[in-house]
Amino acid sequence: MRHVKDNFLPIITDKIDPFMAERFRAIMTNLQFMKTETNEPLKSIVFTSAHKSEGKSFCALNLAVAYAKQNKRVLLIDADMHKPKLSSQFKLRYAEGLSTLLSDTEDPMKYIVETEDTNLSVLPSGAIPPNQLELLNTERMQEMIAVWEEAFDLVIFDTPPVLLMNDSRILGSFCDGVVLVVRNGSTKVKDVETSIDLLARAEGRLIGTILNGKKYAAKELKTYSYY
């Protein structure tokens, strides 16, 4: 694994306000009580949304930090090999990453980057390949997930919107659960329903939804500050 210091962009731990951080801790707590279908703790979670700009990368990133702050070893994977937003946010513009590992037989841990946030590691998307689905829908992908689940307490995948690309459906069928991010006042009910149906058809297990972008009243924020 690599260690990034000078090039690491600390965008989550110090800049997120306490109220929002508490919301992600609440989501983390809910997920910690959930089990797989074989009654085991969740080890791998896929984040997706119906459309772009609904906050799935933001939610995946901040949930990963919430877990890391609880002394959980977390691997955050930029699995959007179409428009890798997380890799850009972390300034990880390497040619090597997930796409590289899927194209060869190298150690699945080789291109993982350790961040300045204790317990949080990131796997960049790698170079954008022409055959994303062909690379994902393979035994190689499943084998790598098994390796990461053994090495980390939790593996979080940030994937493309489910109504635009099929990547999240494939990864959802390989992982323990899928979280669908919905943007308040933007995502249409019919699109949420269609997204859920598409995930279910691919045998992905929807374990919850996150309402992103909700505006809280000043009274709610004040009540929290005095708790």
Is residue 106 within 8 Å of residue 97, measured between CB atoms? no
pTM, 2 dp: 0.88
Residue spans per domain, the chain: 2-225
Tokens matching residue 46: 């896929």
What is the chain's mean pLDDT, rounded?
86
Label residue 2 by pLDDT band (50, 70, 90). Answer: low
What pLDDT does residue 7 have? 44
Strands (E) across the chain are located at 2-3, 44-49, 74-78, 113-114, 120-123, 154-158, 177-183, 206-212
| pLDDT above 70 (res 64) | yes
Tokens matching residue 135: 């690379």
Label residue 132 by pLDDT band (50, 70, 90). Answer: very high
pLDDT in tens, 9-46: 344 444 566 777 888 899 999 998 899 988 999 999 99
Edge-first strand listing for the sheet containing 74-78: 2-3, 113-114, 120-123, 74-78, 154-158, 44-49, 177-183, 206-212
- The CA radius of gyration of the chain, in Å to the nearest whole number, is 17
Which CATH class, in words, describes the domain spanning 2-225? alpha beta
